[in-house]
């Protein structure tokens, strides 16, 4: 049993930390507050090859192991979680295209996606369907060599930059059960009728856009059906969400770690009654509790990632990591704010941003209540075990 990173993983982590410390931390507060899009940071991530995390080397990607994949989202989220969102949806979509796409789709799309010449996301959530994906109402009707797509999607990350955008649709709205009539279409940017209608205002998760999109009689070529076979969309999406949950769990870990780091540093500098506040037992208890939650989160995240690397299905493991780490992120952000006192409520301090970014982690890629049902089903069916 080895809980240590390999030398290669450590070198990769150190490269990421150097990039975050030089390119993200110095501008995160100002750019987040102004709503400025992080164009220069995106270019830096292209240079590091980070848009090819889940793209095999044969298509020009990094093809990293899942522990290294988690390290990317942990380290970037320590600097600015919104930046990690730009990579998150892109990496999930690339994984789906590589796993389920036709040879033609992979050869045509993956090299450009790996280099960042193209970017992508994923269109799942609708105004009336989030957790219940089988309840989506977006439809695609085959007419000749094209699908005619109508519907809307919301909370779509990278919507203004995605080319193509994988969109979950119903190719057979009458199918029972509904998932047998669901497919994923790769919708090219600029297709007539495909409109990004607005950016949604958000409490946190700034830096990347979250948009509403509409599809009105959008003509999508038949060859853009992911995998080339109808009715497999739900399976394709659910497999991708396992990867997505490791991503969100790692982002949560990054927020928790950053919250702890900020509290520890502040407690050493801030004095009260003639001594640093970290000498007071009340503050020590908060710091110790944060450290416990951070390290427990890290072990769960790396465990889930390592199980994925071993070729196992990880819906239970990823669900555990995502649930625990996201709740730890919220608790650590609040505790760090308490250690900072009044300054923790100020936008001049990083902890205020961490406090706003943390709640999304318990919602994104499946709410934590849903994660608990996924975990319970795995355990009661015998497909998942602990101990």
The candidate with the shortest Cα–Cα distance to 151, out of 162, 160, 134, 138, is 138
The candidate with the shortest Cα–Cα distance to 68, out of 8, 3, 7, 9, is 9
Show the CA angle centred on residue 254, arms to residues 310 and 337, nearest 5°: 150
Helices within 233-314 (DSSP H only): 233-269, 281-309
> Which regions of 93-157 does DSSP assign to beta strands (E)?
139-143, 146-157
Quickly count: other Cβ atoms within 10 Å of residue 51's Cβ: 26
Which residues are designated catalytic? 365
147 neighbors 207 (Cβ within 8 angstroms)? no
Q: With 0-12 CB in 10 A as exposed, 13-18 as middle and 19+ as buried, what is 142?
A: middle
Strand partners, 139: 150, 170
Q: Helix 350-357 vs helix 81-100: angle between axes, to the nearest 10 degrees? A: 40
């Amino acid at each position: 049993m080895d809980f240590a990173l390999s030398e290669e993983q450590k070198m990769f982590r150190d490269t990421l930390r150097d990039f975050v410390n030089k390119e993200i931390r110095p501008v995160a507060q100002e750019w987040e507050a102004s709503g400025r899009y992080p164009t220069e940071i995106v270019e830096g991530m292209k240079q590091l090859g980070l848009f090819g995390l889940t793209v095999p080397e044969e298509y020009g990607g990094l093809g990293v192991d899942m522990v290294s994949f988690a390290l990317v989202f942990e380290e970037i989220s320590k600097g600015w979680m919104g930046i990690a969102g730009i990579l998150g949806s892109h990496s999930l979509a690339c994984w789906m295209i590589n796993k389920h796409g036709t040879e033609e789709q992979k050869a045509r799309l993956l090299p450009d996606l790996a280099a960042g010449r193209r970017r992508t996301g994923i269109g799942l959530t609708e105004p009336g369907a989030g957790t219940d994906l089988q309840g989506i109402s977006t439809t695609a009707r085959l007419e000749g060599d094209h699908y005619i797509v109508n519907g809307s999607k919301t909370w779509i990350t990278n919507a203004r930059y995605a080319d193509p955008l994988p969109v979950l649709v119903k190719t057979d709205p009458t199918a029972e059960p509904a998932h047998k009539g669901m497919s994923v279409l790769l919708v090219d940017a600029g297709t007539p009728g495909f409109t990004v209608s607005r950016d949604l205002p958000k409490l946190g998760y700034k830096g990347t856009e979250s948009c509403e999109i509409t599809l009105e009689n959008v003509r999508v070529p038949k060859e853009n059906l992911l995998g080339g076979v109808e009715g497999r969309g739900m399976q394709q999406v659910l497999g991708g969400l396992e990867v997505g949950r490791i991503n969100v769990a790692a982002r949560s870990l990054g927020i928790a770690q950053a919250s702890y780091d900020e509290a520890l540093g502040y407690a050493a500098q801030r004095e009260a009654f003639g001594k640093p506040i970290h000498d007071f037992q009340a503050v020590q208890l908060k710091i110790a509790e944060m450290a416990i939650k951070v390290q427990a989160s890290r072990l769960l995240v790396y465990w889930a990632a390592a199980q994925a690397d071993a070729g196992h299905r990880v819906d239970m493991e990823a669900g555990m990591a995502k649930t625990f780490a996201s709740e730890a992120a919220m608790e650590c952000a609040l505790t760090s704010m308490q250690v900072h006192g009044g300054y923790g409520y100020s936008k001049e301090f990083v902890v205020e941003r961490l406090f706003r970014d943390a709640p999304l982690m318990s919602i994104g890629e499946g709410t934590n209540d849903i994660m608990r049902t996924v975990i319970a089903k795995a355990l009661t069916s015998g497909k998942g075990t602990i101990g």
